[in-house]
Amino acid sequence: MKHLIDPMDISIDELESLFKLAEEIIKNEDDFNNICSHKILATLFYEPSTRTRFSFEAAMLRLGGQVIGFSEPGSSSVMKGESIPDTIRTVGSYVDIIAMRHPKEGAPRYASYYSQVPIINAGDGGHQHPTQTLTDLLTIKRTKGQISNLTMGLCGDLKFGRTVHSLIKAMSRYENIKFILISPQELQIPEYIKMEILNKKNIPFIEVERLEDVIDKLDILYMTRVQKERFFNEADYIRLKDSYILDKEKLKLARKDLSILHPLPRVNEISYEVDEDPRACYFDQVEYGMFIRMALITKLLGVM
Peptide bond into 265 cis (omega under 30): yes
Select 38 or 228, whichever has its Cβ closest to its own copies.
Answer: 38
> What's the rounded Cα separation, in Å, for the pair 143 and 141?
6
Question: Is position 101 annotated as part of the catalytic site?
Answer: yes
Beta-carbon neighbour count of residue 175 at 10 Å? 9
| Shortest distance, position 266 Cβ to its own copies, whole Å | 7
Find out whether 239 is annotated in a ligand binding site: no
Question: Is position 239 annotated as part of the catalytic site?
Answer: no
**Radius of gyration of the chain from Cα atoms?**
20
Q: Which helix (H) or strand (E) holds 63?
A: none
Among 210, 239, 241, 266, binds its own copies (CB under 8 A): 266
Q: What angle do CA 55, 58, 60 make, to 5 degrees?
A: 105
Q: Which of residues 87-116 bind its own copies (CB under 8 A)?
A: 89-91, 93-95
Question: Is position 139 annotated as part of the catalytic site?
Answer: no
> What's the rounded Cα separation, in Å, for the pair 185 and 64?
48
Among 11, 77, 176, 185, binds its own copies (CB under 8 A): 77
Q: Is 163 in the site for its own copies (CB under 8 A)?
A: no
Burial class of residue 64 in the structure, from the number of CB atoms within 10 Å of its CB (0-12 exposed, 13-18 middle, 19+ buried): middle
Find out whether 101 is annotated in a ligand binding site: yes
Nearest to 43 by CA among 53, 30, 28: 53
Among 27, 192, 265, 276, binds its own copies (CB under 8 A): 265
Q: Is 303 in the site for its own copies (CB under 8 A)?
A: no
Q: Where are the extended beta strands (E) located within 18-144? A: 40-45, 66-70, 97-102, 119-124
Among 73, 103, 204, 278, binds its own copies (CB under 8 A): 73
Binding segment for its own copies (CB under 8 A), chosen from 18-26, 57-65, 123-131, 242-250, is: 57-65
Active site residues: 51-52, 80, 101, 129
> Given the rule CB under 8 A, which residues bind its own copies?
30, 33, 38, 40, 42, 48-51, 53-55, 57-58, 61-62, 64, 66-68, 70-79, 81-82, 85-86, 89-91, 93-95, 264-267, 272, 283, 286-287, 290
